[in-house]
Amino acid sequence: MSATKREEVSSHLRYIRLDLREMHQMLIKDDLLPDPNEAKEVHAQLHALLDLVSDKKIKKIKNQFGNF
C-alpha cells in the first residue's frame, strides 16, 4: 500500500474512532441512544473506508488471475 493511501486509511480510521467514542460516551454517561443520522454517518465512513481498501485488493486479484 502506498504511503498516501496508508495516510488516507489512517485518517478515515481516526475520524471513525472519534465518532464511535462519542457515541459510546453518550450511551454510558447519559444513557442516550445516538442520533440515527450520526449512526448513518459512521456507516457511510466505514463504507468509504471499505471502498478505499478493497479497491486495491480487487486490482491485485484481477492482475493475478488475468491470464486465465
Helix, strand or coil, per DSSP, at residue 26: helix
**pLDDT band at residue 60, thresholds of 50, 70 and 90?**
low
* Domain-wise residue ranges, the chain: 3-64
State pLDDT tens for residues 9-45.
Answer: 888 888 888 888 888 888 888 888 888 888 888 888 8
Answer yes or no: are the C-beta atoms of 16 and 45 closer than 8 Å: yes
Average pLDDT over residues 41-65: 72
pLDDT at 61: 52
Q: What is the pTM of this model?
A: 0.60
3-25: string of b/e by CB count within 10 Å (b at 16+)? eeeeebeeebeeebeebbeebee
**pLDDT band at residue 68, thresholds of 50, 70 and 90?**
very low
Among candidates 34, 30, 56, which has minimal Cα distance to 43? 34
Helix, strand or coil, per DSSP, at residue 31: coil
